[in-house]
Chain A
Amino acid sequence: MVSEDRIQLYIPALRRLAVSYTQNRQESEDLFQEIAVALWKALPKFRGDSSERTFVYRVAHNTAIRFVSLEHRRSDREYAVYENETEPASPDNPELDAIRNQQWKALWRAVRELPVIDRQVVLLRLEGLSMAEVAQVTGFTEGAVAMRFSRVRRQLSEKLSGARKEER
């Protein structure tokens, strides 16, 4: 059984998910709130038919899909604003944080450019879900997930190495 306390464990992943579906800080915060509320409301209905992770990511991604389909307004200008607002998380080790943040931004940009369905598969894999779990969340077969992820992994890797060359 997923308890309200255990939602706390998924907060960083849910924040990353919200950031990946939205264009700016305000939208990301709105989506994060919607996901949190959707999970809160769905918790009493969870019967343990799937794993806790699968349940949480199903609700989160479905809420994100509803958000981008029904409420989201796209704007390139807002996209740029969000990118500039992203900052290192902890002030304890600023150099390491800066490197990590740079890597994350490059990866985030590459993920953000993917079509939504590919993005779903990649986000789930990047959060550490197995192919079988990704299949349960997306409704694809495991084979389809593997094929899709393999293609997108190649694209991500090319984009990231391209970004590294540009930095040099």
Chain B
Amino acid sequence: MTEEQDNGLDTLLMEAWQCGVTNEGSEQIDMKRQIERWAQAFDRRIFWRNLIEYGAGVVVLVRSGLEFASGERHWTIPLTSVVITFFILGYVWQKHRRARPVDPDANAGEYRAALLARIDDQIALTASARYWYVLPVWIFFVIVFITGALRTPNATRILQFGVEFLLATAFAVLIVWLNERYGMRGLQKARQRVESLNTEALNQ
């Protein structure tokens, strides 16, 4: 094909493509206002997600503070709860703060690299959840059970402690398994998709 024929074909393809519209294209609404509304809805979703994420921690802190003040439970329980909640919230917060930015205005190659790095960070965070989330929560429950058993040391109470300990451990193992089975699998698939795009970009 000559260059002239190529250019002619390009023009035909462009015309055929650019006249193509779908139902949505014929709408006569004010897109600027519409996009503004979508952006506001997006901001609201992020706000509520953050509120739920950190709000649950704040509720635990307030409750523990009240328990501590009232002396309702042995002081070690609210104190452990506060320490563990601060640890988990602090860990998540600093991970979010250090998240590598993905610039939407980067070229496609740079964007894919940044996206891959971000997914790797998420995989690392999810994979380590057993240490920064499940383990501290498990420790908290064990402290609660031990405290209970020590306050009223009798055979029944010790047996109850054993059962509670086993249940808490089984629950922790289940959470770790679910996280690695389902949470990690989605991220690994996303990583594979971006990797395959990088491979595709390398092949001419």
Hey, which bits of chain A sit against chain B, CB under 8 A? 4-5, 7-8, 11-13, 15-16, 19, 25, 28-29, 32-33, 36-42, 45-46, 50, 55, 58-59, 61-63, 65-66, 68-70, 85-87, 89-90, 100-101, 103-105, 107-108, 111, 115-118, 120, 125-128, 136-140, 144, 147-148, 150, 153, 156-157
Contact = CB atoms under 8 A, between A and B. Distances in A.
A90 B6 CA distance: 31
Given A69-B194, A128-B14, 4 more contacts: A7-B32, A69-B190, A87-B23, A89-B22
Contact of A104 (B10, B20, B109, B197): B20
A36 B38 contact: yes
Nearest to A147: B204
Contacts of B193: 68-69
B35 A15 contact: no
A40 B36 contact: yes
Q: Which of B6, B111, B115 has the most CB of A within 10 A?
A: B111
Interface residues of B, number: 43
A33 B40 CA distance: 12
Contact of B25 (A12, A25, A45, A63): A12
Contacts of B201: 117, 140
Interface string B1-41: 00000100110011011111111111000011011101100
B106 interface: yes
A126 B13 CA distance: 7
Given A58-B106, A65-B115, A138-B107, A104 B9 contact: no
A103 B37 CA distance: 35
A50 B23 CA distance: 32
A107 B38 contact: no
Contact of B38 (A37, A100, A128): A37
Contacts of B190: 69-70
Given A7-B35, A15-B25, A85-B23, A38 B107 contact: no
Nearest to A124: B108
Contacts of B112: 65
A60 to B, nearest CB: 9
B104 interface: yes
A4 B106 CA distance: 20
23 contacts: A4-B32, A4-B35, A7-B35, A16-B20, A19-B22, A29-B24, A36-B31, A37-B35, A38-B104, A41-B39, A42-B104, A58-B104, A58-B111, A62-B106, A62-B108, A89-B25, A100-B16, A100-B20, A104-B19, A116-B197, A120-B108, A126-B13, A147-B204
Interface of B is mostly: helix
Contacts of B19: 100, 103-104
A137 B80 CA distance: 52
B40 to A, nearest CB: 10
A101 B40 CA distance: 35
B200 interface: yes
Given A117-B201, A144-B204, A157-B9, A61 B14 contact: no
B182 interface: no
Interface string B150-167: 000000000000000000
A4 B31 CA distance: 10
Interface string B32-71: 1011101100100000000000000000000000000000
A108 B111 CA distance: 25
